[in-house]
Amino acid sequence: MTELRELELFLRQATDFRLALVIYNDPVARGNFIRDLAESLASADLRVLTLDLVARPPETRLLDALGECFGEAGTGRSVAMVVNLESRVDYAPELVRGQKAPDSFLSTANLQRDRFPELCPGPVVFWMTETLERAFFEQAPDLWHWRSHVFDLRTRQIPEMEPLDPDGRPWQSYDDRLHPGHRVRRLEEELAAYRKVGLAREEMQAFNGLGIVYLEVGDACRALKDFEAVLNLARKLGNLAWEGSVLGNLGNTYADLGDIRRAIRYHEEALEIARELGDRRSEGNALGNLGIAHRQLGEASRAIGSHEQALEIWRGVGDLRSEGHAHANLGNAYLQLGDARRSIGYLEQALEIARAIGDRRGEGSSSGSLGNAYAELGETGRAIELYERALEVARQTGNRRGEGNALGNLGNAHLQLDDARRAIGCFDQQLEIVREISDRNGEAHALWNAAIAHEVLGERPKALARAEEALVICGEIDHPNAVQVRAAIAEWRGE
């Protein structure tokens, strides 16, 4: 790839601070690019440092983190690769029109621009998505103009789109059959138009649509900002229905970020508002979200109670898509209880509904869950078929979280078949994705599973390194696997 070779040449020639931007759209490819650069530049005695902002405390400033990164490297030439910058960026800093926007992570870095050459003795490379590039330009304009070069290493292209949907109508930005990349572009255009003319309700709807898309593709940090904007506007407008709806979205977002108990509080608030308004659909949504959160805490029996109430509501209002999701949720809850046969019954109903109504996301998630049920029964070959189908659907629909889940499931299945090396390949791909989307829960699972695979191969040092990384994350998010991981580390160390 010409751009990659040009980036390597730029890094070889830069003897002091230089700033470069790399635009990418595939976190797996990003990881491979950085590894390739590290190997190639090692021959020139040039060390590649990776500054992962997800792993740094939330109050850390960019310049301070870079200074520590270069300082820890010691003597010799080094270059710094900054990844997961999107986890620190506020894409809508003002939230409410008329208020002064708070200093953002990027704007603070922009104010400190003169100190970058002092604390960064080598080149710095920011890896960013196209959306992040726009935010960088807006919030750190001086740093943007200070850049020496922009390298385009995008590997995935948004597929070509027909002008009309399959029913012959113009595509709507909220239509989930539309590729996420197209939905984001349309919603950003709509948001800019609504804000320009002061249509607060429509602005709120556009923010909500953006939050949903980003949550679907796994960018929970970005989704959180959009949903906070919706909540602020809903309360400003006194719109209780919208407030209840976005509380549920915020609950889902915090669950994705690993804060399950906070998620439950938001879902309980949403359920209270739905019942106060007599809104059966919102009540069904809140019950479903509560059930998922309780299952994430290992409370499968409580989850089943919530999902059964939700299923009754969806049947009553005739919402087939939501009924299918309730079947899938019940299947997952019964699987957690150890009743794989009953789980399969619910999941097969969910898959049948998803295929009947063209719910591609539902088809992918139900296929993956069915794979889990068959794996529990020891039918690993059948499970792998279902996981591969789930992976295919996730990639076709741009579902990054679903892609990571499918890769993790495939890794576990290959591990069950004693193919630990192939399993590690799956876990490594999963790890790149979950770090990109700031899924701390998924990161803990990927690291722990990779540790087990390395131990199976007799690679004890690698197993310990991965397990120790997993333990740190488990402690940060109160993960239930913490005790198991800690015990394994002690055993592997011979303590």
Q: Which pairs from 245-251 meet CB under 8 Å and 24+ separation?
A: 245/208, 245/270, 245/282, 245/285, 246/208, 247/273, 248/282, 248/285, 248/286, 248/289, 249/208, 249/211, 249/212, 249/215, 249/223, 250/224, 251/289, 251/293
pLDDT band at 256 (very low <50, low <70, confident <90, very high): confident
- pLDDT, one tens digit per residue, over 325-361 is 999 999 999 999 999 999 999 999 999 999 999 899 8
The Cα–Cα gap between 289 and 329 comes to 10
Q: Which domains does the chain have, with CATH numbers?
A: 2-152 (3.40.50.300), 319-398 (1.25.40.10)
Q: State mean pLDDT over 93-108.
A: 57
Residue of 493, 406, 413 lying closest to 455 (CA atoms): 493
The Cα–Cα gap between 262 and 293 comes to 10
Residue of 401, 453, 400, 444 lying closest to 426 (CA atoms): 453
* Residue 245 vs residues 184, 266, 273, 275, 296: alpha-carbon distances, Å: 20, 10, 9, 12, 21
What one-character DSSP code corresponds to residue 122?
Answer: S
The Cα–Cα gap between 120 and 137 comes to 21
Residue showing tokens 């002061």: 198
pLDDT for res 90: 63
Q: CB under 8 Å to 120, separation ≥6 — which residues?
A: 17, 66, 67, 70, 80
The answer to whether the pTM exceeds 0.85 is no
The Cα–Cα gap between 271 and 281 comes to 10
- Answer with the residue of higher pLDDT: 367 or 217: 367
Q: Provide the token pair at 100.
A: 């002064």
Q: Which helix (DSSP H) or strand (DSSP E) does residue 152 occupy? A: strand 149-152
Helices (H), 257-339: 260-277, 280-296, 300-317, 320-336
pLDDT band at 388 (very low <50, low <70, confident <90, very high): very high
Residue of 29, 2, 33 lying closest to 156 (CA atoms): 29
Characterize the bridge pairing of strands 149-152 and 124-128. unpaired
The Cα–Cα gap between 216 and 223 comes to 9
Question: On the CB side of 58, how many CA atoms lie within 13 Å of its CA?
Answer: 6
8 Å CB contact between 149 and 10: yes
* pLDDT exceeds 80 at position 477: no
Residue of 155, 129, 32, 127 lying closest to 429 (CA atoms): 32
* pLDDT exceeds 70 at position 438: no
The Cα–Cα gap between 222 and 437 comes to 9
Choose the most confident range, by mean pLDDT, from 2-6, 92-96, 297-301, 483-487: 297-301
DSSP SS3 for 202: helix
Residue of 294, 397, 295 lying closest to 343 (CA atoms): 295
pLDDT for res 345: 96
pLDDT for res 35: 86
Q: Provide the token pair at 482.
A: 């913490």
The Cα–Cα gap between 269 and 256 comes to 18
Backbone angles phi, psi at 328, to 5 degrees: -65, -40
- Answer with the residue of higher pLDDT: 448 or 163: 448
The Cα–Cα gap between 143 and 19 comes to 8
Q: How far apart are the first and last CA of the chain?
A: 48
pLDDT for res 384: 96
The CB density around residue 238, as the number of other CB atoms within 10 Å, is 8
Residue showing tokens 């690679």: 459
- pLDDT, one tens digit per residue, over 294-320 is 999 999 999 999 999 999 999 999 999
Residue of 88, 182, 211, 100 lying closest to 140 (CA atoms): 88
* pLDDT exceeds 70 at position 38: yes
> Exposed (0-12), middle (13-18) or buried (19+): which is 309, by Cβ within 10 Å?
middle
The Cα–Cα gap between 430 and 410 comes to 10
Residues 203, 204, 207, 211, Cα dihedral to 10°? -170
- For 159-225, list the strands marked E by DSSP: none
Identity of residue 226? D
8 Å CB contact between 61 and 109: yes
